[in-house]
C-alpha cells in the first residue's frame, strides 16, 4: 500500500511538471479564456401612456364647483373662473335654445327636422344623419343629450336659427344674457376646431359660467326627461330604431352612483364632455330630500378623475343642503 501511494504521488507530480491539466481544471481554464457571448438586451417594462397635461387639461381638473341649485349658493369652488374647453358640455346651451324655442311655440317636440348639408360638419359621436333625412325634435334632443350626437346638434341649430352661423351667434348672445362673461361658442357641439368645418377656435367656458347655464336649463320642465334617461331609443334618419347608453358614468355605472339614504339614486343629469385638448368635463346634478345640487368639473386629465371628483363633490353638496 505504501508503494502504491508513492507511485500515485509521483504520477501527479509528473502531470504537474508537464503542464497537462486534469480534465476538470482544463475545462475551467478554457471557460475563463473563451470570449463571453454578447450580453442580451433586457427590454424595459412598458409604461402606461401618461395623460396629457396642459392649461386646459390637467390633474385633477382645471376647475371645479358645487352649488345649491335653488339658491345658487356656492358650496365649493376651486379655480371656478379658470377657462376650460367644455367639449360636449356645450350641448347644454344648444338644448336650452331649442327648449326655449318650443316654449315660445316656434315648433314642437314632434316637428320633423330635415338635415341640411351642414350636418356633415360633424364626427362621432353621431346618429348618422345624412342631408335630406329627417328626425323629430324629440328624437334629436334625446340623441343630443344621451348619445351626445354631434350631428343632432347641427341639425337642431340650423332648424332653430336658419343657419349654423346664426345659431352660434344666438348661443353667444344667450350666454351674455345669462351673465356668462367668460364663455365663447364657435359651434353647437363642442368639437375641436377644424378648417374643413370652418371653425378656428375652441369653445371656452368656466365653472362659474356653467353654473348659470345649469340653473337656467333646470327650470325647463322637460330637460330631465332626456338627461335622466340611461338607455335612449330613437328612430334615426333611415327609419330604424337606434338605442344607446348615456355617457354619464356617475348615473349609469353602479360603482360610480351616488345613492341617497333611502336607497334611491341621486343623479339625473346633466352632460359630460371630452376632447383630447380639453380633457374630461361634466355638469352633474342630483336630488336628495327634495333639494337639488349642481356640480361642475372641467378639464380633468382622465374620465376617472372627473367622475371620482364629481361624485364626491355631489355627495358632499347633497349632504350639506338636504339635512
The arithmetic mean of pLDDT across residues 293-297, rounded, is: 98
In this model, does residue 8 exceed pLDDT 80? no
SS (H, E, C) 97-119: HHHHHHHCCCCCCCCEEECCHHH
Q: Which helix (H) or strand (E) holds 279?
A: strand 279-288
CA 214, 217, 222, 225: dihedral to nearest 10 degrees?
Answer: -20
How do residues 57-69 score in pLDDT, each as one tens digit? 999 999 999 999 9
- Which of 121-130, 224-233, 311-320 has the least mean pLDDT? 121-130
Q: Do the domain assignments include residue 145?
A: yes
In this model, does residue 90 exceed pLDDT 70? yes
Q: Do the domain assignments include residue 312?
A: yes
Q: Do the domain assignments include residue 233?
A: yes
* Contact by Cβ (8 Å): 272, 86: no
Q: Do the domain assignments include residue 37?
A: no
Q: Do the domain assignments include residue 105?
A: yes
In this model, does residue 141 exceed pLDDT 80? yes
Q: Do the domain assignments include residue 152?
A: yes
User: Which residues are 205's β-sheet partners?
Assistant: 84
How do residues 100-128 score in pLDDT, each as one tens digit? 999 999 999 999 999 999 998 889 999 99
Q: What is the CATH number of the domain that holds 186?
A: 3.40.710.10
How do residues 158-186 score in pLDDT, each as one tens digit? 999 999 999 999 999 999 999 999 999 99
Alpha-carbon gap, residue 266 to 286, rounded angstroms: 5
Q: Do the domain assignments include residue 77?
A: yes
In this model, does residue 235 exceed pLDDT 90? yes
Q: Do the domain assignments include residue 45?
A: no
| 39 secondary structure, DSSP code | P
**Phi, psi at 285, each rounded to 5°:** -145, 155
In this model, does residue 18 exceed pLDDT 50? no
Q: Which residue range forms the structural domain that includes residue 190?
A: 63-321
User: Which residues are 271's β-sheet partners?
Assistant: 283
Alpha-carbon gap, residue 121 to 293, rounded angstroms: 35
Alpha-carbon gap, residue 270 to 252, rounded angstroms: 12
How do residues 185-224 score in pLDDT, each as one tens digit? 999 999 999 988 888 899 999 999 999 999 999 999 999 9
Based on the structure, what is the number of domains in the chain?
1
Alpha-carbon gap, residue 153 to 160, rounded angstroms: 10
* Distances 193 to 57, 84, 185, 267 between C-alpha atoms, Å: 17, 15, 11, 32
CA-angle at 103, arms to 102 and 109, nearest 5°: 30
**Phi, psi at 42, each rounded to 5°:** -100, 120
* Contact by Cβ (8 Å): 218, 292: yes
- The predicted structure's pLDDT at residue 49: 53
Amino acid at each position: 500500500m505504501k508503494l502504491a501511494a508513492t507511485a500515485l504521488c509521483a504520477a501527479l507530480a509528473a502531470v504537474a511538471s508537464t503542464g497537462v491539466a486534469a480534465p476538470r481544471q482544463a475545462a475551467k481554464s478554457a471557460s475563463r479564456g473563451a470570449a463571453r457571448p454578447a450580453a442580451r438586451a433586457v427590454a424595459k417594462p412598458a409604461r402606461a401612456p401618461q395623460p396629457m397635461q396642459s392649461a386646459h387639461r390637467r390633474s385633477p381638473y382645471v376647475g371645479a364647483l358645487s352649488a345649491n341649485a335653488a339658491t345658487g349658493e356656492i358650496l365649493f369652488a376651486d379655480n371656478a373662473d379658470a377657462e376650460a374647453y367644455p367639449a360636449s358640455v356645450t350641448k347644454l346651451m344648444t338644448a336650452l335654445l331649442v327648449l326655449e324655442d318650443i316654449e315660445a311655440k316656434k315648433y314642437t317636440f314632434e316637428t320633423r327636422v330635415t338635415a341640411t348639408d351642414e350636418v356633415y360638419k360633424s364626427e362621432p359621436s353621431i346618429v348618422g344623419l345624412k342631408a335630406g333625412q329627417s328626425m323629430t325634435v324629440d328624437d334629436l334632443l334625446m340623441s343630443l343629450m344621451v348619445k351626445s350626437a354631434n350631428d343632432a346638434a347641427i341639425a337642431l341649430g340650423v332648424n332653430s336659427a336658419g343657419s349654423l352661423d346664426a345659431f352660434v351667434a344666438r348661443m353667444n348672445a344667450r350666454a351674455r344674457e345669462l351673465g356668462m362673461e367668460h364663455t365663447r361658442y364657435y359651434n353647437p357641439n363642442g368639437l375641436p376646431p377644424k378648417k374643413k368645418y370652418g371653425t378656428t377656435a375652441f369653445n371656452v367656458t368656466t365653472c362659474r359660467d356653467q353654473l348659470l347655464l345649469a340653473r337656467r336649463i333646470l327650470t325647463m320642465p322637460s330637460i330631465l326627461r332626456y338627461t335622466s334617461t340611461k338607455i335612449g331609443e330613437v328612430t334615426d334618419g333611415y327609419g330604424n330604431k337606434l338605442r344607446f347608453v348615456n355617457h354619464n358614468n356617475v348615473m349609469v355605472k353602479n360603482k360610480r352612483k351616488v345613492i341617497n339614504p333611502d336607497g334611491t339614486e341621486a343623479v339625473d343629469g346633466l352632460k359630460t364632455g371630452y376632447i383630447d385638448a380639453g380633457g374630461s368635463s361634466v355638469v352633474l346634478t342630483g336630488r336628495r330630500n327634495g333639494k337639488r345640487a349642481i356640480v361642475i368639473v372641467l378639464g380633468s386629465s382622465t374620465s376617472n378623475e372627473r367622475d371620482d371628483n364629481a361624485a364626491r363633490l355631489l355627495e358632499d353638496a347633497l349632504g350639506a343642503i338636504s339635512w
